[in-house]
Amino acid sequence: METKLFNKNYLLIVFGNAVSAIGDVLYSVSIGYWVYETTGSTALMGLTSSISFFVVMFISPLAGSIIDKIDRKLVIVLMDVLRGLIMLGVSYLAFSQKLNVAMIIVTAFLCAMASVFFSPAISTALIDIIPHDDMVRGQSIQGTVTSLINLAGKAFSGALIVIFGVPLIILINGISYLLSAFSEMFINLSKTPRQNQKIDLKGLLRDLKEAAKSVYQNKYLRIFAFAAIVANFFGSGSGAMLLPLMLEKGFGVDYYGYITSIETLASLVIVMVLSVKKFKPKTRYYLMSMGFIGSSLAYILGYVSSHFSLMAISFFLGALLSGLGNALFNAALMLSLPQENRGAIIGFVQSASVGGQALSSVFYGIVGDIYPIVNIFVISSILMLIPLLMMCLNKNTYEFVLNH
């Protein structure tokens, strides 16, 4: 366990993620633009962006179990190298004008497969690299860097596409992955308790069963995982329905853009605050509880408001408090994972959460055609608050946060 936050391993991971994030954000915008310009189809745009969603849902539990049994550093480096080489190949096809939509879909699938192994490897590595009493600050600093890059990338991506063109943007993404892999080669990671164990399908299925059992038997993890999954179901689908809500209220598409920008700004503000301010355990508990309760109330006020200025203020406060609650909650969730099968549990919880997001999007889409969207948003916010209140008011949650 490292004794200080800004150790060599942490800085290398933050740098590597920052470099690859630059290429990622530019690629995601440019490839969407390329698909739409080439085909004129929004459905194909949606397909290319949703592939990773389904890969995560179905592959994460098995990928997490595999990560527990192999060298995490090797996975981290190889997955970035693989994605870098794929992007170099795609850029070559784009430069030679041989690129087509089928190739983009295959590329999206391959990169999603690499990401589904990369993600639990990085997540479990950070638990070992960041001092446990600095987990919130460590995750927030990484989140701040990524958020700043996303904001800048989205702001300038259109101009960069016009200046450099899509093929060069894809090439930059490939180079960014390789640079990230190079920096990650110098990371030092300890072995996991299950490293070098045999990997087979029977064993992976057994690990998945053990992960689910571990979640149920661990009194802390059971509370955190249940709250995350249920809250995701009731809350995540609202993002896809925000534009219809704005239109239902009589606001235009431009106002939708303002609201999403306001939420992004609020999220960035809170991760920046948490990245420089270290709170005592008792304070973290109360801030987490206040964040979840306050964000729900702020969003409800925004949903029912007919004035854009009040709606904007409410959404800013809602996103700010939600970011506060989620940052502190995620740190607690990571610290509650047992060391021997962290990867498998992360994969299991991630898969369940993503599945909840999928069902949430379908649920919102169906009931949105039947009932006024504002009513759905208010009711879902109240229902989402129930598991979060159950978690925050549970004495085991209070006990865990105070001791970590």
40: its two tokens: 């004129």
pLDDT of residue 237: 66
| R_g over Cα of the chain | 21
What is the separation of C-alpha 181 from the centre of its chain, rounded to a whole number of angstroms?
20
Statement to judge: residues 177 and 210 lie in one domain: no
By C-alpha distance, which of 136, 138, 169 is closest to 33? 169
Statement to judge: residues 82 and 123 lie in one domain: yes
Ranges of the chain whose pLDDT falls below 70 = 1-3, 41-50, 153-155, 157-158, 237-240, 253, 356-358, 361-362, 365, 368
pLDDT of residue 141: 86
Is 194 inside any structural domain? no
pLDDT of residue 295: 93
Final residue belonging to a domain, choices 184, 219, 246: 184
67: its two tokens: 């990560």
pLDDT tens digits for 273-329? 888 888 888 899 999 999 999 999 999 999 999 899 999 999 999 999 998 998 888
Statement to judge: residues 216 and 139 lie in one domain: no
Statement to judge: residues 384 and 268 lie in one domain: yes
pLDDT of residue 43: 59
Statement to judge: residues 30 and 176 lie in one domain: yes
How far apart CA 167 and CA 27 sit, in angstroms, is 10
Statement to judge: residues 331 and 298 lie in one domain: yes
3-state SS class at 383: helix
How far apart CA 367 and CA 379 sit, in angstroms, is 12
Question: Residues 7-22, buried b or exposed e (16+ Cβ, 10 A)?
Answer: eebbebbbebbbbbbb
Final residue belonging to a domain, choices 127, 153, 184: 184
Statement to judge: residues 81 and 139 lie in one domain: yes
Residues recorded for the chain: 404
Statement to judge: residues 166 and 256 lie in one domain: no
Is 260 inside any structural domain? yes
Is 48 inside any structural domain? yes
Statement to judge: residues 77 and 219 lie in one domain: no
Is 237 inside any structural domain? yes
What is the separation of C-alpha 293 from the centre of its chain, rounded to a whole number of angstroms?
22
Q: Are 189 and 125 in contact (CB under 8 A)?
A: yes
pTM for this prediction: 0.73
pLDDT of residue 358: 65
Statement to judge: residues 153 and 267 lie in one domain: no
Is 193 inside any structural domain? no
Q: Are 234 and 360 in contact (CB under 8 A)?
A: yes
Statement to judge: residues 155 and 209 lie in one domain: no
Statement to judge: residues 371 and 300 lie in one domain: yes
CB neighbourhood size of 85 (10 A): 14
The total number of structural domains that make up the chain = 2
Range of the domain at 363: 203-403
Is 192 inside any structural domain? no
What CATH number is associated with residue 156? 1.20.1250.20
- The answer for 130, left when phi > 0, alpha when psi is -120 to 50, beta otherwise, is beta
**Cβ-based neighbours of 100, under 8 Å, separated by 6 or more:** none
Is 170 inside any structural domain? yes
Final residue belonging to a domain, choices 184, 214, 249: 184
What is the separation of C-alpha 365 from the centre of its chain, rounded to a whole number of angstroms?
22
30 to 250, 282, 299: CA distances (angstroms):
31, 45, 32
Is 24 inside any structural domain? yes
